[in-house]
Structure 1
Amino acid sequence: MAETFSKKEKREKKQKKKQDKAQRIEERRLNNDKGKGLDEMMAYVDENGNLTTVPPPTGRKREINVQDIQLGAAPIAPEETRKTGVVSFFSDKGFGFIIDNRTKEKIFFHRNELSQPVAEGDKVSFETERTSRGDNAVRVQKE
């Protein structure tokens, strides 16, 4: 009996798979890292924290003052509580806006926070308070 076309095709595919598998095994065997010397496997860390294959030079070492090492988050400088600005708008309804001299930001204020009456263009000093609608000027005093 003769071999059919599909049987022949299956046999050839099986042989091709065996050859491919043998070839992959041979490649893995040749590229194997086992048996390398200790020097080839070593990695070094330089003074900047980068990995390198070259050992660091032994001669120069930088002295570090322990007090200069900062642990945790950077300290936040306290913000000045009293700010200055100019009244840019004041309504008859009792509210207005101050332009902060340092940040040039418009800050809302209400007449209840005034220690004395103000008009547009007056220089004032104030403190800010965070509300649900943004910053409000409080304890506003005319300068």
Structure 2
Amino acid sequence: MLRRVEDGPAVVACNTCRHTPDAREDAAGLRGGAHLVAALRAVKASDSRYAGIAVQEMPCLFACADFCTVHLRAPNKVGYVLGRFAPDAEAARAILDYAVEYAGSEHGRVPFARWPQGVKGHFITRTPPPGFVAE
């Protein structure tokens, strides 16, 4: 049920998220989550600023009403679940830009002034790291 992955800053994307509120898949039979994973990987490969951020995928983050959904995490940092993204390069770039700021922060808190416009309004929840709660 679990597969070990790199234990560093990561964007974990749901690869089974719906394509739209009304359709699970696009005309080619691909889900929105699969498109978002592909966009995240393409954007990451296009810019060395994203080298320290892993793009990982898994089926269903259980945030189906808020697709396309990602979980941003890093050791000893507060994590975040974000959703309601279009499965495209613009969203992927905003997610990765935020992930760079997040990875460079002390505890996972990024000042609002440093948030890319493309992630504002997309936060669903935050999660404490094991053994901690946020103050």
- TM-score (norm: length of structure 1): 0.19
Q: Which of the two has greater strand per residue? A: 1
Higher relative contact order (CA 8 A, sep 6+): 2
Q: Which structure is larger by alpha-carbon Rg, 1 or 2?
A: 1
Q: Which of the two has greater helix per residue? A: 2
- TM-score (norm: length of structure 2): 0.20
